[in-house]
Chains A and B, each alone.
Chain A
Amino acid sequence: MDSRRLSRTVIDPKVRQVGFFTPCDPPPARSLSVPADTGASAIVPTDMSSSPPLTDIYITNNSFSPVRIPPPRQASAEGLHSLGRAAGSTTSVFAHGVLSPHCWEGVQMPIGSYNLSEFTQGKSSMLSPSSSLDDLDFSEEDATSACLIGSASGKEAAAFPRSSGEVMMAIKSGANAPAKSALTTASVVKALPEVSEKDGGTSIEKQNEGIAARSKQKTTKAERRAIQEGQRAAKAAAKDAGKGAKSTFASSGGALAIAKQTKSAILPSQKKDGSAVVSERRFDRNPDKDGKKDVPQSSMQFDDKIRVEKAKKRAVVGHFEARNRVELFRHLPQYEHGPQLPCLESKFFHLDHIHPSVYKVGLQYLTGTTSGGNARCKEMLLAFQEAVMDYSTPPEKTPARDLMSKISSYVSFLIACRPLSISMGNAIRFLKNRIAKLDHNMSESEAKSNLLSDIDRFVNEKIIVADKVIVHHAVTKIRDGDVLLIYGHSTVVEMILLQAHELGKQFRIVVVDSRPKFEGKALLRKLVMKGLSCTYTHLNAISYVMHEVTRVFLGASSILSNGTVYSRVGTACVAMVSHTFRVPVLICCEAYKFNERVLLDSICSNELGDPDVISKVHGRNGLNDLENWSDHENLQLLNLFYDATPSDYVSMIVTEHGMVSAIQS
């Protein structure tokens, strides 16, 4: 991993390059897209060594392009295209479980600086928390979480012979053992029980043969068949291997620590090689077809005209595109917020296929009556629960499939009302998984009651009980005489503060708030009513109040596999200031909000709010300089909802599985 360390010293990862730039000196081995489309990540080394010229083509083709870091699902779909997504996670997990950690580290050795296989593998191990969510088996889950609570890095310790602190060392030392690399990777493919060697072998052969010819991404017929077979076999394999292998690695805490390592590798590469990123982009037309069905909007790029047109056709809710769209955020949906609600309201009786309770929740999202990650997720699940309750299978249809399509249509309706949060995506994936796993022989009422109790348990265990456990953990971090800084309005943080107050701890609170929502005011009112001593200030005064603060408690919308905290806009600022002042930052986040995605900035994935609200100043109606701002062509207003806090600024993450101290690298 010398190259990785090197790049890190050359370019400080904290400096983020954003927008348009030229990749100055494209190293040849970077463009992982080549193996990515061909198939298993396992064959990366072979491929790379055989086809360096090809990579150059891509690099030269796309030198001036915006950075776009693909959402990891896509990446994995590309990288492990031939194996399918499910198999993708299993492959690497399997490798970790069975082989020694060295093989993982070894894999990347011959390749050079950064490559996708490392990325995917690192990520797919990250993927495990959510894949455990996927086929959430409660008993299993409990077992893993119990193991987790025992030691923050218990999971890691299970997978790696070393303790978490030494992982870095292990990676470094892995660099000195290049001999293992090629062999061990190949064995990953072979180690898979049902992906037959023949399939793997043929695809490798095919790739080797066809590489020169295949400058475009067209696969031959035989290849496609091989790929399909591979996918089918891999799915079967995933089912068998899934339970054992995944559960061993299903750890959010462990994942996080690894995320740190991976991130440091990804960061410099992202900066250097726009071209690798770009060439990946070329593929997302074809290979992510199956991925996009899953959660279409998350990977939807709104600057992709063809897809936007298609999406418009099947849209339930009419959207009016904003006139002054912010260029940098064109890939995100930017709509006029004014006419959305009346349009939806007037269509009330036309949307007969949407269950009333789902419709109600959608409207509440749209109007902002329901906001906040937990509340939105809970409301959505409860609405789905009602929908399931009222569901009856039409004749000649299997309940599992029909219900699945119903839920999908509900989800797309909800997305039309407001983009889903990452945690909601997790919950939906969980629900769909449960539906898919319904036994076909089960009677309808039985299946329904199963689903209802599943949803109930999810809400209970993942949200309600999880919050209680988090409060229980986090309260231990509050000591007498502390001055706590909180930002925005996180329900968990509120519960923590109230609990600590009930326990009789003596502390002060600094509530930091920001425009345009002023969510802190509601929180402040609740705290003051309970008799806590508070200071209220706005975000712009944060460096003044930070002097006296001893701890910072923040909520999160999601925590990503590279340790990035995705949260209410302004959180990053708070975290950075407190980092500078050496004040510990504690992030409180339920484990169901963890996601395998990797985000490096808050640009490629975000949500844009109504730009009008930032043009108005609350309580000062006289300030109307921006009244008709949309008439000015050169003026665009941007109201971001989220930002990404790099893990470097987070001292500790509190989940219901325990507290994980983020490693400062």
Chain B
Amino acid sequence: MDFQVVVMAGGYSKNLAPLVSEEMPKPLLPVANRPVLSYVLELLEASNLKDLIVVVEGEDVALRVGGWISGAYVDRLHVEVAAVPEEVGTAGALRAVAHHLTAKDILVVSGDLVSDVPPGAVAATHRRLDAAVTALLCITPVSGPSESVSSVGKDKGRKLPRANIVGLDHTRQYLLHVAAGAEVGKDIKIQKSILQANGQMEIRADLMDAHMYAFQRTILQEVLDQKEMFHSIKHDVFPYLVRTQLRSEISDKGAPKNGLNGADYSLNGSDPASEILTNRTHKCCAYIANKSKYCSRLNSIQAFCDINRDVVGEAGHLSGYSFSAQNNIVHPSAELGSKTTVGPQCMLNEGSKLGDKCSVKRSVIGRHCRIGSNVKIFNSVVMNHVTIEDGCFIQGSVICNNAQLQERVVLKDCQVGAGYVLTVGSEYKSEPLSKK
């Protein structure tokens, strides 16, 4: 179908500070005991896309990711891993692989996407509307992942402060305006020319950019060549394309409109004339995923927890595991002590041992963990080879590989880095804990 796929896998993300480490770069972070990158690769594989370019930041990450891919996907996918220097951004990464791109259209997918939206749908919309760029937009789940790291834990009750502002035309196919959450202050500035050309714009704050874009290769490369300052696809390239869709000068005098409460606005302009759409130089389109589809990005610790919970819970079909009658996944080799309960939406992987009178609810426990007796684990993610001794209480936390929790440790909303040891009886709340 003349499409090439570039997967932006990333490297050591700062947002996920204590979780990622030398051994565990972001693409390999386990989501329900599978690297997060595997979700994207399998989504693409299901869509019959077998020639992929995976771009990662840093040579050593490339080695690790490449090693894992060649082991897991031998004979299934044809993957080329490209290493780019860190901090070049997604646009820089695309520039680095630009000479490999030959197809008519390029599908750029973020490596941290966990979704079941078929990429074909985005590509088909792109082709059907003959667009320059098509973005996948998802409806943000009500209690779903937010962009900000700070919203972990204590400010749960507060309204999520940042949202994407998206302007759509009345058919909800064309994108007229995008503003990423961070750039949005009190006012939204909308270009008058675009509003005039369309007559009507629907502004929505409940849509999330899923970082799956279909670009026309020629246009993308032109932009990348001309604008060397562009750093990120999402923040630079994509808004630029949307802004210049009429090839008019970017006017800052656009009428500011107030209010963004997540509701829909309809700004009525001159005349709802759809034919005027033809005079634009390139079309920017959106594919809005169905509400029933799962779609989220692993770009924060909160998101990491949410995705882990969802994948073994409501979006269970993504994990590829079969659920037991209790609606959980317990590996046959896992050992449970007496009076230990594993609730629904839990996952217990091979070789893990739980002592007596433990309780696990809505949590994922990795391979070969040793958990003593009388341990309570709620809403948490425990990775591989973790030792948790008797009487620990863990809630809303992430415990990385090889960490050790001695007796009676109490953790609430903490992140424990790889190999970190927590001493007897220590209590922590909302803290990242890792080796310095």
Contacts and interface: CB of A to CB of B under 8 A. Distances in A.
Interface residues on B, range: 20 to 34
Interface in A399-433: none
Nearest to A347: B120
Interface string A513-528: 0000000001001000
Contacts, number: 56
Contacts of A345: 118, 120-121, 124-125
Nearest to B118: A346
B268 interface: no
Nearest to B120: A348
B59 interface: no
Contacts of A522: 275
Nearest to B119: A349
A364 B126 CA distance: 12
A175 B374 CA distance: 107
Given A356-B2, A356-B104, A359-B1, A348 B273 contact: no
A349 B127 contact: no
B127 A356 contact: yes
A348 B2 contact: no
A348 B123 contact: yes
A347 B120 CA distance: 6
Given A349-B1, A351-B1, A352-B1, A359 B127 contact: yes
A360 B1 CA distance: 11
A460 interface: no
Interface residues of A, number: 19
Contact of A346 (B3, B47, B129): B47
B275 A346 contact: no
B326 interface: no
A414 to B, nearest CB: 14
Contact of A348 (B104, B121, B275, B290): B121
A165 interface: no
Given A345-B121, A348-B120, A348-B123, A369 B1 contact: no
Interface in A254-297: none
A19 interface: no
A123 B67 CA distance: 71
A344 B130 CA distance: 17
Nearest to B44: A349
Interface string A328-363: 000000000000001011111111100010011001
A208 interface: no
A207 to B, nearest CB: 54
Contacts of A347: 120
Interface string B121-147: 101110111100000000000000000
A346 B122 CA distance: 9
B48 interface: yes
B47 A525 contact: no
A514 B298 CA distance: 50
Nearest to A342: B121
A367 interface: yes
Nearest to B50: A349
B78 to A, nearest CB: 14
Nearest to A364: B128
Interface string B55-82: 0000000000000000000000000000
Interface in B329-385: none
Contact of B127 (A342, A350, A360): A360
B120 A346 contact: yes
A525 B128 CA distance: 25
A491 to B, nearest CB: 14
B49 interface: yes
Select the residue from B1, B2, B49, B124 with max chain A CB neighbours within 10 A.
B124
A359 B105 CA distance: 15
Interface string B170-192: 00000000000000000000000
Contact of B48 (A352, A364, A369, A525): A352
Contact of A363 (B1, B104, B127): B127
Given A350-B47, A525-B273, A356 B1 contact: yes
A349 B128 contact: no
A349 B123 CA distance: 9
Most chain B CB within 10 A, of A346, A347, A522, A525, is at A346
Contacts of B128: 360, 363-364, 367, 369
A522 B275 CA distance: 9
A349 B48 contact: yes
A350 B120 contact: yes
Contacts of B273: 525
A348 B105 CA distance: 13
Contacts of A359: 1, 124, 127
Nearest to A351: B1
Contacts of A342: 121, 290
Contact of A360 (B48, B119, B130, B290): B130
B198 to A, nearest CB: 15
A356 B301 CA distance: 40
A331 B156 CA distance: 58
A367 B127 CA distance: 13
A375 B344 CA distance: 56
Interface in B275-309: 275, 290
Contacts of B3: 349
Contacts of B47: 346, 348-350
A351 B275 CA distance: 31
A542 to B, nearest CB: 27
B15 to A, nearest CB: 31
Contacts of A360: 127-128, 130
A490 B3 CA distance: 37
Given A350-B48, A351-B1, A522-B275, A344 B127 contact: no
Nearest to A354: B1
Interface string A18-39: 0000000000000000000000
B406 to A, nearest CB: 50
Interface of B: 1-3, 47-49, 104, 118-121, 123-125, 127-130, 273, 275, 290
25 contacts: A342-B290, A345-B120, A345-B124, A346-B118, A346-B121, A348-B120, A348-B121, A348-B123, A349-B47, A349-B48, A349-B49, A349-B119, A349-B123, A350-B47, A350-B48, A350-B120, A352-B48, A356-B1, A356-B127, A360-B128, A363-B124, A363-B127, A364-B128, A369-B128, A369-B129
Pairs of residues from A and B, 9 with the lowest C-beta to C-beta distance, nearest first: A348-B120, A346-B118, A345-B124, A345-B121, A363-B128, A349-B48, A348-B124, A349-B47, A360-B127
